[in-house]
Amino acid sequence: MDHFEIEGAPTLPTYVLITPARNEAQFIASTIEAVVAQTVRPLKWVIVSDGSTDGTDDIVSQYAAANDWIELVRMPERRERHFAGKVLAFNAGRERVEGLTYKVIASLDADITFESDYFAFLLSKLAGDPQLGLVGTPYRDATSEVYDYRFVSTDHVSGACQVFRRECFEDIGGYVPAKGGAIDTIAALTARMKGWKTHTFTEKICLHHRAIGTAQSGPIKARFNLGKRDYAIGNHPLWEFCRGAYQMVKRPYVLRGLALVAGYLWAATRHSDRPVSGELMAFRRKEQMHRLTQLLSRKQMSSDKRAPSQV
């Protein structure tokens, strides 16, 4: 079966879910409950326990016993925690769905929740536009923040839940196992570079129950690490300094933006490895300069409207 049919609604493509999970006992039951409650469930959901030692496996096993479309895959424990491990876990899950006929494949974090029509909503967007290769929604995390989409392009799709058209995911070659992270950004960039549309639909959100990037560090160190990742994926220096300035007006004030820029400069001075090609980096910077030009033009137009008339 290639599609789901809901009475009175457009035909939706079938989908599979893959969730890498490492020590997510605190949140994963809520995530599973959210998926079980979906109006359109996946053909299969593979939850890959990436060496979990905290009871994650037991929780998933209980739900898998009651839902034959949920499967637990266990991977051996590893000492080092990094994002390349997440990609390896995702790929192990992908192997388990190779024999299925599906149109959409989604990467879902193990610590998010959403409304019961969440996947039906995203699948309908893919069904309505064959050029859409990747879709998602904004998230609200433990700091109660949601991106301000006046400044963040809706072309970016958060890694909390990335929903790919299968052809798109295969076209980009899957996720890049970058140890430093940004695997979601690299995937979205590569998709656009290859001609696919990517889009975040702001009509819905998902709730991320841990502040992004804080699984092993506090908020300041998380910003520093984000700056390092920004360098790794080729962010333009001008874009990064503007990004840092914008971050300074958010809590913790000033330090948040300084930590971001410091991480970028730290990586730049050490010529840290970049897991992206020169072509992708050039594409990234072209997009950023176009976006920056748009933002500055919008700001200038707003200033002109507020300025007093000249006699």
Sequential pLDDT tens for the chain (311 residues)? 566 554 445 689 999 999 999 999 999 999 999 999 999 999 999 999 999 999 999 999 999 999 999 999 999 877 666 678 899 999 999 999 999 999 999 999 999 999 999 999 999 999 999 999 999 999 988 666 666 666 578 999 999 999 999 999 999 999 999 988 899 999 999 999 999 999 999 999 999 987 665 555 688 998 999 999 999 999 999 999 999 998 998 888 999 999 999 999 999 999 999 999 999 999 999 999 999 998 888 766 666 666 554 43
Residue with tokens 């730049």: 268
CA geometry: angle at 70 spanning 210 and 22, to 5°?
35
Q: Across the strands, what pairs with 172? A: none
Q: How far apart are CA 275 and CA 234, in angstroms?
A: 9
Give me the DSSP letters along 35-81. Answer: HHT-SS--SEEEEEEES--SSHHHHHHHHHHH-TTEEEEEE---S--
Residue appearing with tokens 């491990």: 85
Which residues are paired to 278 by β-bridges? none
Cα–Cα distance for residue pair 156/115, rounded to 1 Å? 21
Contact 180, 81 (CB under 8 A): no
Helix (H, G, I), strand (E, B) or coil at 11: coil
Quote the pLDDT of residue 151. 59
Q: Which of 280, 65, 102, 63 lies closest to 193, judged by CA? A: 280
Distance CA 168, CA 185 (A): 15
This model's pTM is above 0.75: yes
Task: Give the model's pLDDT for residue 304.
Answer: 62
Domains defined for the chain, CATH in brackets: 3-208 (3.90.550.10), 219-302 (no CATH)
Structure tokens at 53: 């030692």
Three-state secondary structure call for residue 88: helix
